Amino acid sequence: MAKLWETSKDGGLDPAIDAFLSSVGVDQRLLAVDIEGSIAHAAMLGRQGILPERTAAELGRALGALAVQAEEGSLAVDPLAEDVHSFVEAELTSRLGDSGRALHAGRSRNDQVALDLRLWMRRASAELREALLDALRAITELAAGHTRTLMPGYTHLQRAQPVSFAYHLMAWAAALRRDYGRLEDAAARADECPLGACALAGSGLPLDREGVAASLGFARPSPNCMDAVADRDACLELAAACAALLTHLSRYCEEICLWTSYEFGFVKLGSSCSTGSSVMPQKRNPDPAELIRGKAGRAYGDLVALLVMQKGLPLAYDRDLQEDKAAIFDAADTALACAKAFATMVSSIAPDPARMRAAAEEGCLWAADAAEYLVLNKGVPFRTAYAAGRALVLAWESARKGGAFGCSPAVAGLLAALGEAGLAALHPAWQGTETGELSRYLRLDSCVERRDQVGGPAPKAVVRQLEELRAFIAAKAEAVPAPAASIQ
């Protein structure tokens, strides 16, 4: 296939260089959006009198036929083409002759590829957001029945304070909602039409950039033609959104790996989302979680590649930018596959409330509440109350080691054994404290229920979070545009 830029048959590219420069193996994924952009461009050329209306209509019909074939999968991209743009023009020329050669008036492959990427990224963002809503739905459904299922909340991977399983899942959802917003932002950054920027300085032909932008659903044409063909900010932002999403999914998958271990035993994954061992028949492995955790590195690599590729590039277009497509395609593909797998995996999670409760009762997760009791009921300064709470913890640990109350003494048993005199002997701040009242105050359910402020773990607060999350999902499901075709 002759190159669009060739003016003679003398010499020609070395075959190895020709293969090295070709991008069609990657950018053929842009076939549908390249045709979409060409249809809008052809219509504009006819409206503006740059081409005869008959020629523009003929181009539109032929491009429409190509679009149908592309959607059906019957339009095979020539692997010898230099890129997808060259292939489409060659197809038109083979079908229409000179009319096909006329389509390129007023545009360059520089603004074509910038347009194609933006059209593709808008679809990619929409498809990723749709998958993210599915993940949020799965989290919502899992959380709904566990607002009173107590478990340890952790800091430094050490048991810290009691929370509910639903509350922990709402923390997952909070970050994923931010990821949704980043994907929206990336789509907004792509919402400028570069077509008509031509190579870098626009065209002397009377193009209607505003009309083309509107016909393709863009908010506006890009404001500077030189920047339009050099700009890959939307690629960076979409790749960054994918990397952030994979960071969050990787963290949650690490928790799933921990929770499904025998040492934790908080949840089990269904057989549809776990694998067995080829040697040890007793094992079930959380492979989807592990693979999502591993794939996060790919998204980071894609983002770094896009950043480094653009560092130090002079304006306007440079061939380095040909490398943008492989990176952004891989980032979006990886994020989409992981989001879908995560949603399915969450739906298969079966919690073990008894195991979670036992883990919460095992430590001194009431210790912060013991200090707060003194602050609230005795007016004790917090640092003093903290020391008094620590004294109670030490008494608990001593009783546990001595086996006085079995392997895991509940604080109620400890307080009953101490009595008011024994409690006061631990620290002066406990003087005059009624142990029954303190015991009720330090019940884990009470500790959780008191924390009913916005964002807290109290059942009422979590129910509010669930309701707000359901409203978010419903509103976004209605607003997000359905992708015209899969990005893959």
Q: Active-site residues: which are they?
A: 156, 277
* Helix, strand, coil share (%) of the chain residues, nearest 5: 65, 5, 30
Distance CA 59, CA 97 (A): 11
Contact 293, 272 (CB under 8 A): no
366 closest CA partner among 387, 390, 398, 383: 390
Contact 448, 162 (CB under 8 A): yes
CA 342 to chain CA centroid, Å, is: 11
DSSP 65-85: HHHHHHHHT--PPPTTSSSHH
484 closest CA partner among 119, 134, 74, 39: 119
Task: Give me the count of residues in the chain.
Answer: 488
**Torsion angle, alpha carbons of 170, 456, 463, 376, to 10:** 160
Q: What is the largest CA-CA distance in the chain?
A: 104
Helix (H) or strand (E) holding 326: helix 324-347
Residue type at 241?
A: A
Q: Record the tokens describing residue 60, joined without a space.
A: 């539109």
Q: Does the CA dihedral 466-469-471-474 come out positive or negative? A: negative
Distance CA 354, CA 357 (A): 5
| Three-state DSSP string of 416-471 | HHHHHHHHHHHCHHHCCCCHHHHHHHCCHHHHHHHCCCCCCCCHHHHHHHHHHHHH
